[in-house]
Structure 1
Amino acid sequence: MRTDSRRHFVSDAEERTYLESLIREDFERCHPGETLEDLKRRASFSKEDRGLLRDWMAVAAARAAAASRAKA
């Protein structure tokens, strides 16, 4: 799945923490022995990991949007 990295850019640390909380458990279940923190660290120098993190953050953004719509 290709994503637009600019579309899911998060500048606010609090928002990033919230979004990461939405995907952390699923990421760690899909990648045994790894943490989301491991991925974030590798993404700073790995193009592939940067893309994987971008895709996971897109999932988080979609989940946050769905939760927001459900509250309305």
Structure 2
Amino acid sequence: MFRFDLISKAMEKEQNKFLLVHILSKRMHQLADGANSLGSKTHDSHFNNAVQEFLDGVLDFKDKESGESK
């Protein structure tokens, strides 16, 4: 089950919903393929764990055009 409170918080942190979906989808698939959690695994789904990792700031991604980490 999706935690809508986490989704709302994530949307406050990253307002570009397309970028947010891309980041979370990529991380969710990594977790589903057996990647270790970057934080404490506190949720019952890969999606909720990916959102929590995003909120905790442990996911790092770079803008291809500028090369900046976000």
TM over 0.5: no
TM-score, normalising length: structure 2: 0.40
TM-score, normalising length: structure 1: 0.39
* Structure number with higher helix proportion: 1
